[in-house]
Structure 1
Amino acid sequence: MANHEERHHFLLVVYGLQSHINPGRVLAHRLTRLGVDGSVLVTLAVPVATYRSMFPSKQDGVGDVSMTTNGVVSYVPYSDGVDDGSMPMNADDRAHRRRASSKSLSAIIARLADRGQPATCIMCTMAFLPVIDVAREHNIPVTIYWIQPATLLAMNYHYFHGYSKLITLHANDPAHKVSLPWLGRPLQISNFPSYLIDMSGSEMTKNINESSQELFEYMDQWRPKVLVNTFDELEANVLMKMKQHLDVFTIGPMVFAIGPMVRSSMETQIHLFNHNIIDKKRYMKWLQAHPDNSVVYVSFGGLSKYTKHQMDEIVGGLKQCGRPYLLVVRQDGLEDDESHRLDNTQSHGMIVDWCDQLEVLSHLAVGCFVSHCGWNSTIEAVVSGIPIIGVPNMFDQPTNTYLVEEVWEVGVKVERNSDGVLTGTELARCIELIMGEGAKAKAIRERAKALKEIAKQAANTGGSAERNLRDFFKTIQTHDKFCMNNTMSHQ
């Protein structure tokens, strides 16, 4: 067992969203492998509401009393003062939650220290300001875990370093092109993340942008390490230039498995949405009955909402293309009245309210992925070699779709009509463009397969993801030794 001086303890703080939790868990497990004989500890801190969903038996859990472990990674809940899983309503609410989260995380750090397991580094996914507050209070180094592409990190960086007026000036002109440093080519306004061009004054946009601005101000002053869920070959040009200005370590692809679905019990994904394992057996048996590369897989993530009209168009387009399809749509993802339910007994397809996405994407029967292009979904498609039809809605999704279509050329983006609706005819056209026998379809499929092999090399033992994470760890060790020697020299 490693002694106290040799032990490193990472406190990784994540938002209570599916898109943050699973990348956080992958990083947590990979960090523990960097040490030997228990020298690296990782505690994953999640909001109270999320903790209760992950561990239903811990219903009385609050940030300063409860902890759960799987024998490798520990889990602890922190309180935002509301603990109902909701988003802040206004500036006062944001301030209240920040104070409550900071207080709760500070109590967790004190408790870990009392146990003889003091946190030596605190991490956060994206811009979580209470982590910065607590790190300053306890004099603990901070690492930013950027769970979106490096391209988006560059766009955010430049927005908060002199380009905000230029971007917002043209926010209502989707076709207008803006040139940003590091990116190599101009970007249309429509390629920017929604929160940077949202002029509606929505509370969510204010929350994201104000938090991001403070994060980048902190980064300018203290230059923390930044771990990015991408790999060098995927965004080579932007990374090469970015590393001259930020201490970036590419540690992706951060998925639980690549290729054959062999997972340990500790590395299965956590699904916050309740699901029935019987459904999994049913859709996997259904996939098994179809030829290779024949099934259209459709899923738009856990946050997307769709009207009955939009969903009818999607189902109509899937029927029109005449190919077998697996459609994932949660009933609470339908905006219309509760009496509307989709018929899951389609003649050419199957409709389910949940699936194990990585396992589905890895199935030989799947030929393309109709996706909202959240980053986790995009990366999972890349490592599975599946072409993508992008249907972006918000946040980073427009940028990810731009990368899929124009940079990597492993998919296409749908075009909505003047009312913002994806028509069935357009969806069917894109499916045929990807799964047909035309020259473009074949080229897209070949590039998807090639990118899969590159992703596998990055993720394999000894690959760039492991090497870069170890390089990051060495810098943390060097920092700790410097601080320890500096402290002793002044005693």
Structure 2
Amino acid sequence: MENLKNDCHVLLVTFPGQGHINPSLQFAKKLVNLGIKVTFSTSLTAFNRISKLPNIEGLSFTPFSDGYDGKFKGSLDEIESFYSSLVSHGSEFVTQIIESRAAEGRPFKRVIYTTLMAWVGIVAKGINIPSTFFWIQPATVLDIYYYCFTDYADCFKNCSEDQVVDLPGLPRLSPRDFPSFVFTDVNSKALRNLTMVGIGPSIPSAFLDGNDPLDKSFRADLRWSSENYMDWLDTMTKESVIYIAFGSYSEISSQLMEEIGQGLIKCGRPFLWVIREEKEGGYPEEKLTCKEELEKQEKIMRWCSQVEVLQHPSLGCFLTHCGWNSTLESLSFGMPIVACPLWTDQGCNAKLIQDVWKIGVRVNASEEGVVERDEFKRCMDIVMEHGEKREELKKNAKKWKDLAKEAMKENGSSNDKIIELPGLPPLSPIDFPSFVFDNVECNNWAAESIKSQIDILNSEENPKILVNTFDDLEFDALRILKNVTMIGIGPSIPSIFLDDNSFRADMIEISSKNYMNWLDLMTKGSVIYVAFGSYIETSSQLMEEIGQGLLKCGRPFLWVTREGPNEEKLTCKDELEKQGKLVSWCSQVEVLKHPSVGCFLTHCGWNSTLESIASGVPIVACPIWNDQLCNAKLIQDVWKNGVRVNTSDRGIAKRDEFERCIEIVMGSGKEGEKLKRNAKKWSDLSKKAMKENGSSTVNLKTYAYEFLLGGS
């Protein structure tokens, strides 16, 4: 380690997620090794969960408040409100950290911040301290975001159903690679005035025909709930139940809840009502004066799988706040709506529901702005009672359901948008990161943060971006943007090729490492390693298909299931435990470098992808969301170190497909051997990049000496 220079001290601020913290810690260690002091800062929500902090001279830790300070449970359902709190509280506390250090005569020379933390750059600029953006995903993904928000925005505008858009030098994106949130038939007029393409609905099984009872949800639910509501629905007659849900973060007043409850009693129909637990831990329904009467005719849940409920034949009506996801799901399942919008885009969505698509009725508020019980009863009776109005609503709902299904077929409007962007490999629609389009309720915060970051970059003169990749891996992607300079300094992961496994911060404790003893008993390259990251909660259906696929392969495996309720639902759990090993968590870098591991079945998070590349382990790619879609494209078609599972026409990866892909990678055929050779090639190149004179080491030293040790 070079001598630490007291006058060179940087503040490194990272988003409070496992996938952000670990590469940032590795990056911090590299800076310290160059003689630069680093203060590492993330919010208390993540900091308080780190079981053991790395201890190294020159690295200190200063967490800041995000307003939740440990109460955020990591659910995507709360992420937007959490992120808003993170920005508002974090801006104040990060400012205090910077100013207090300056007042002590030990100012930071520069602030470095990670993906989704654009507000840190704004804070730094406001107090005249230089900053650098550290992008922890692939350079290719940043290129896509940059194009979407700047020079090539028009390429996503006014695409007809049969139009192919070719842009010089960019890869072509196929339909299965494009994460989609809107589909053209519903919103085509509005889309003509926006720089986006209708390619949805991107919801689990939105185009179901009801013939496959196993086809429930292909999604990443981070809330768990009991499924006894499905048993209850099975006892109800066809189209008799009213379903009430107001989204993942909309807070409804006790007055509105009371009016809804009284309206339901007046209707006298069975209903399923999702009432979320209060932030303070209380139960809102306890305040209802009509609670005892409600319990005679209803079922109250804390949470449920909405797509499973909406496709149940007992459902006859959806009373909703009209969030866009809920609206699309209801529309795609042909479910008539009672619209009760609260805020943001919901008022506009309710207008579309009642007056444009004509699939529901909107409740009217009184002069005092309150929707009263009689109004709820009126609207629910219109939708539920047999008559001309109900038949018209059902007819229209079916029409839009059919259009949604048509849009997602092989030649549908959502599947024929082929886009090429300069310098990138051919990407299909399902290869795009899922935040490219920002009109999805649960992803607005991320899209806004990314757009804000790009605005910051465009306001700077020749901005430099540190990227967690290396030159050989993404040579073109690092160089194609004209207005910014991307510097590959990765892979910023625990140095598995230098026997450095400990410099990280696990937010999930590993209770035992007996899995390593088990791996020691296995033959070389015989084990399939299965893991889907620290946040993604795989659906019970996906877990079942993976499990059955593993059984069909007949090979030993190590599967990280994180001890969720979906593990207990596996019908094949007993058989699986005879063939492989199920663990709640493990040290991934240790597992991937073990000689017995011959394949990695992964969600393609960037950290997992880089760790697999550095270890030389071929991949079976099963992306879920965000940058994982693009990463899977790179794995299969650019780096050619893995295969990507194909989904059925209902969006589900089946057991036979998992077996097929695993056998390609693990088998002794020509394709498997080629994948193994490519995996070894990229492993060798990643090690080369991190050597003393390797590209990433040289790049980081050049940056450090120019901007930290000797420059501005």
Instruction: Give the TM-score normalised by structure 1.
Output: 0.86
1:144 positional shift: 0.5
CA distance in 1, matches of 2:117, 2:508: 24
1:115 positional shift: 3.9
1:111 positional shift: 2.5
Which residue pairs with 1:238 in the alignment? 477
Higher relative contact order (CA 8 A, sep 6+): 2
1:178 positional shift: 0.3
Match of 1:385 among 607, 612, 616: 616
Match of 2:101 among 112, 127, 132: 112
1:470 positional shift: 0.7
1:478 positional shift: 7.8
Mean CA deviation greater in 123-132 or 422-431: 123-132
User: Is the aligned partner of 1:149 residue 2:138?
Assistant: yes
CA contact (8 A) 1:171 1:198 kept: no
Q: Residues 188-245 of structure 1, C-alpha deviation per residue, up to 9 Å, x if partnerless?
A: 111100121475x223x11111111111111011143210011101011222323x43
Q: Which runs of 5+ in 2 are unaligned?
A: 157-195, 201-413
Q: Give the SS at the match of 1:123.
A: strand
User: Is the aligned partner of 1:218 residue 2:456?
Assistant: yes
Q: Which runs of 5+ in 1 are unaligned?
A: 58-67, 482-491
Which residue pairs with 1:65 in the alignment? none
User: Is the aligned partner of 1:124 residue 2:110?
Assistant: no
Q: Give the SS at the match of 2:651.
A: coil
Q: Which amino acid aligns with 1:232?
A: D
CA contact (8 A) 1:344 1:351 kept: no
Which residue pairs with 2:122 in the alignment? 133
Mean CA deviation greater in 76-85 or 438-447: 76-85
Q: Give the SS at the match of 2:42.
A: strand
1:179 positional shift: 1.1
Q: Residues 316-362 of structure 1, C-alpha deviation per residue, up to 9 Å, x if partnerless?
A: 11111011111111123x55989999559712200001011011010
* Cα distance, 1:344–1:72 mapped onto 2, change above 3 Å: farther
CA contact (8 A) 1:298 1:326 kept: yes
CA distance in 2, matches of 1:338, 1:312: 8
Q: Give the SS at the match of 1:368.
A: strand
Q: Give the SS at the match of 2:63.
A: strand
Which residue pairs with 1:417 in the alignment? 648
1:116 positional shift: 3.6
Q: Residues 96-120 of structure 1, C-alpha deviation per residue, up to 9 Å, x if partnerless?
A: 5422111010111123224443111
Mean CA deviation greater in 76-85 or 93-102: 93-102
CA contact (8 A) 2:41 2:61 kept: yes
Match of 2:563 among 313, 331, 335: 331
Match of 1:181 among 392, 405, 422: 422
Which residue pairs with 2:171 in the alignment? none
CA distance in 2, matches of 1:31, 1:343: 48
Instruction: Give the TM-score normalised by structure 2.
Output: 0.60
CA contact (8 A) 2:5 2:37 kept: no
CA distance in 1, matches of 2:5, 2:621: 50
Q: Which amino acid aligns with 1:79?
A: S
Q: Residues 59-94 of structure 1, C-alpha deviation per residue, up to 9 Å, x if partnerless?
A: xxxxxxxxx964331111111222233569597875
Identity %: 32
CA contact (8 A) 1:344 1:350 kept: no
1:421 positional shift: 2.5
* Cα distance, 1:354–1:258 mapped onto 2, change above 3 Å: same
Which residue pairs with 2:28 in the alignment? 28
CA distance in 2, matches of 1:335, 1:197: 30
User: Is the aligned partner of 1:51 residue 2:79?
Assistant: no
Q: Calculate the aligned-residue CA RMSD, in Å.
A: 2.6
* Cα distance, 1:239–1:56 mapped onto 2, change above 3 Å: closer
CA distance in 2, matches of 1:250, 1:182: 16
Match of 2:506 among 250, 253, 271: 271
1:131 positional shift: 0.7
Q: Give the SS at the match of 1:381.
A: helix
Q: Which amino acid aligns with 1:195?
A: F
Q: Residues 427-478 of structure 1, C-alpha deviation per residue, up to 9 Å, x if partnerless?
A: 1111101111111111111111111111110012221111000111122048
* Cα distance, 1:475–1:56 mapped onto 2, change above 3 Å: closer
Q: Give the SS at the match of 1:402.
A: helix
Mean CA deviation greater in 381-390 or 249-258: 249-258
Q: Give the SS at the match of 2:107.
A: coil
* Cα distance, 1:304–1:340 mapped onto 2, change above 3 Å: farther
CA distance in 2, matches of 1:388, 1:70: 34
Q: Which amino acid aligns with 1:30?
A: K
Q: Which amino acid aligns with 1:171?
A: I
Q: Give the SS at the match of 1:347.
A: helix
Aligned residues: 454
* Cα distance, 1:175–1:478 mapped onto 2, change above 3 Å: farther
Which residue pairs with 1:11 in the alignment? 11
CA contact (8 A) 1:32 1:42 kept: yes
User: Is the aligned partner of 1:352 residue 2:583?
Assistant: yes
Q: Residues 248-279 of structure 1, C-alpha deviation per residue, up to 9 Å, x if partnerless?
A: 2110111111336344xxx4321101220x2x
